[in-house]
Amino acid sequence: MTALISRPARPLTGAAAVPGDKSISHRALILGALAVGETRIAGLLASADVLATVAAVKALGAQAEQGENGDWRVYGRGVGGLAEPQGVLDMGNSGTAARLLIGVVATHPLTVTFAGDKSLSVRPMERVMTPLRQMGAQFTTRSGGCLPITITGTPSPVPIVYELPVASAQIKSAVLLAGLNTPGRTTVIEPQPTRDHTERMLGHFGTEVVIMVKPGAPGAKEITLTGQPELTGAEVRVPGDISSAAFPLVAALLVPDSKITLTGVGVNPLRSGLIETLREMGAAISIDNPRNEGGEPVADLTVVTSGLKGVTVSGARAPRMIDEYPILAVAAAYAQGVTRLEGLAELRVKESDRLDAIVRGLTAAGIEVEASDDALTVKGGGGPPPGGARIEARLDHRIAMAFLVLGMVAEAPVEIDDATTIDTSFPGFADLMNGLGAAVAAQKEG
Ligand code: S3P
């Protein structure tokens, strides 16, 4: 375990590029493994989570290697062409890797065991097994339906129409990826829009995904693909991860006299809820040089220190900023007045119970906060919160980084007990923040 301490920062200034998008990196590797020919990936996030997907696609028979210029090359096996791995697939801390790859294997005639770390081994998997059983896959699990899970994929998959019971891009993607090797039309109905990287990337690899808005149901979509297409290897440029950019972005909004630019950040509208919310709070964020890279919108974000005020955010926006609540709670603690965040039930089943981790962490740092089953209220003081706490990171990278940002903006330093999982999404976090003016350092134990 590496403990880190974050002390009040100097004004944050300069430009930085955050690492590649985690969601898009997983998908590029998986579709590359299912495509025919070479897929070249520039800007792949080389983090622990994504390297778990690299190892898994190799164990399933694809080739994946990093070239000298840093780009990755994947040589796929074609849809339906994956091979049975010899060992257990270890997904580490990554729910996305586990759920998406379980979807892929479900419609291959293979038996595969998936395992994960302590955090992933208590996260719900029934949510993907339910539709995949309907398609014909069989599962053996521990009680409670958690990892380790052994799946036997079906040789004769059945296409389904599946309505998501929770707004989850991972469930949607698991079903669509299973639908790839299923004859006929597989449809996912999502009542609330969730990130659409799988649909966009399928288009980029040459497979049409038909998206229909559901009449009379605002935001609801019906997403259909016709199975057994030939996916063709593609060139993918992975944008910077907006969920990683969120940490320096909020830090620069709060640390006095800051101005930073984050270059090449993915600004997919289904991921940008944090920017909308922070602007409603009074944040000055400009979105410059908008461009399209490999089917995804990308831009440079410039942020200057801004006085923020409390707001209410309804659950309708939650899927578009689901990973950003820990850092938004830090912004709310500094803002003037009360912030109320609704529709947060899914936070309880992330890398940790994030609602509980936020409440305990902010309380320890002297901030008034209250939570119900699915809502959070933070009483902001309109300036630096007290800080001076030691926070348990609970194998949760975003809890670790959010509280390190709290230490940058609080009156007294904030420590986290274990920084190791930061590498699952944001390798080099402390160096990047320190390069902008923060003071994050290793903390001696004891
Ligand atoms: C992800 C979807 C989200 C998000 C996760 C990555 C993805 O999870 O929290 O970090 O890549 O599809 P859910 O789809 O379960 O909400």
In this prediction, residue 143 has a pLDDT band, given cuts at 50, 70 and 90, of: confident
Of 168, 244, 398, the residue with max ligand 1 atoms within 8 A of its CB, to mutate for a pocket test, comes to 168
Mean pLDDT score, 172-196: 98
CA 197 to ligand 1 center in whole angstroms:
11
Ligand 1 closest atom vs CA 171: 14
Residue 300 has pLDDT above 60, yes or no: yes
For residue 170 and ligand 1, the question of a CB distance below 6 A is answered with yes
Residue 293 has pLDDT above 80, yes or no: yes
- Residue 216 has a pLDDT of 83
CA 194 to ligand 1 center in whole angstroms:
9
Q: Domain 22-237's class?
A: alpha beta
Give long-range contacts, CB 8 A cutoff, 24+ apart: 344-350: 344/315, 344/318, 344/374, 344/375, 344/376, 345/166, 345/373, 345/374, 346/166, 346/167, 346/168, 346/318, 346/322, 347/322, 349/123, 349/124, 350/95, 350/123, 350/323, 350/396, 350/398
Residue 386 has pLDDT above 80, yes or no: yes
Ligand 1 closest atom vs CA 22: 11
Write phi, then psi, for 137 (nearest 5 degrees): -75, 155
| Mean pLDDT computed over every residue of the chain | 97
For residue 49 and ligand 1, the question of a CB distance below 6 A is answered with no
CATH number of 4-20+239-442: 3.65.10.10
pLDDT in tens, 217-267: 888 999 999 999 999 999 999 999 999 999 999 999 999 999 999 999 999
In this structure, what DSSP letter does residue 19 have? P
For residue 192 and ligand 1, the question of a CB distance below 6 A is answered with no
- Residue 218 has a pLDDT of 84
Mean pLDDT score, 422-429: 97
Question: Is 356 designated active site?
Answer: no
Active site residue: 90, 117, 323, 396, which one? 323
Q: Tell me where in the chain the CATH 3.65.10.10 domain(s) lie.
A: 4-20+239-442, 22-237
CA 96 to ligand 1 center in whole angstroms:
6
Residue 446 has pLDDT above 60, yes or no: no
- What tokens were used for 374? 């699915």
The amino acid at 245? A
CA 445 to ligand 1 center in whole angstroms:
34
In this prediction, residue 294 has a pLDDT band, given cuts at 50, 70 and 90, of: confident
Q: Say if pTM beats, i.e. exceeds, 0.85.
A: yes
Element (DSSP H or E) covering residue 259 = strand 259-266
Q: In 102-158, where do the E strands start and end? A: 111-115, 138-141, 149-152
In this prediction, residue 445 has a pLDDT band, given cuts at 50, 70 and 90, of: low
- Residue 428 has a pLDDT of 98
For residue 397 and ligand 1, the question of a CB distance below 6 A is answered with no
pLDDT in tens, 301-321: 999 999 999 999 999 999 999
Give the bridge partners for 399, in sequence order.
none
- Residue 214 has a pLDDT of 82
- Residue 444 has a pLDDT of 77
- Residue 219 has a pLDDT of 86
Mean pLDDT score, 66-83: 97
